[in-house]
Amino acid sequence: MPRHALAAALLLAATATATATVALAYHSYTALFDSSRSVTVSGTVQKLDYGNPHIEFDLVTANPARTWRIDLRPRPAQALALGLTEETLRAGTRLTVTGWPARDGTHTLAGQTVVLNGRTIDTS
């Protein structure tokens, strides 16, 4: 096999492997979160990261006092259609999130529903 053909084949194999690895990592919600359990927390949004690939924010709860990291699956464009905007999720907003807890025991949830101003929004 000519040298340039071998190089092209190796590059193609490396690209395919990298793409498959990224796809598996991105779609591994069930590896990171326990979908057999559900946790509901209510609190105040403290810090919002509104961007791709997911919207994330810190939710501070009072009882018990702790900070939960909430990961919402919808991309920002989808979230906008659901009414979850940077304005509605700004710091100081009170809301309730029900979701799957992190398998590693950290206070992290994959949000499945958000209750905002009395309205339940399915974010799964």
What would the mean pLDDT of 6-18 be, rounded to a whole number? 46
CATH code, domain with 69: 2.40.50.140
Considering the domain architecture, whether residues 21 and 59 belong to the same structural domain is answered as no
Considering the domain architecture, whether residues 27 and 37 belong to the same structural domain is answered as no
Counted domains in the chain = 2
DSSP assignment letter at 85 = -
CA distances from 96 to 5, 21, 61, 108 (A): 57, 34, 10, 14
Please report the pLDDT score of residue 53 as a whole number: 86
Residue 8's domain spans which residues?
Answer: 1-32
Helix (H, G, I), strand (E, B) or coil at 40: strand
Considering the domain architecture, whether residues 57 and 25 belong to the same structural domain is answered as no
Q: Which residue has the higher pLDDT, 31 or 20?
A: 31
Considering the domain architecture, whether residues 118 and 101 belong to the same structural domain is answered as yes
Considering the domain architecture, whether residues 75 and 62 belong to the same structural domain is answered as yes
Considering the domain architecture, whether residues 48 and 109 belong to the same structural domain is answered as yes
The pTM (predicted TM-score) of the whole model is 0.77
pLDDT 10s digits, 52-94: 888 999 999 998 899 999 999 888 999 999 999 999 999 999 9
81-119 as b/e: b if 16+ CB within 10 A: ebebeeebbeeebebebbbbbbeeeebbbbbbbbebeee
Percentage of the residues of the chain whose pLDDT score is greater than 90: 66
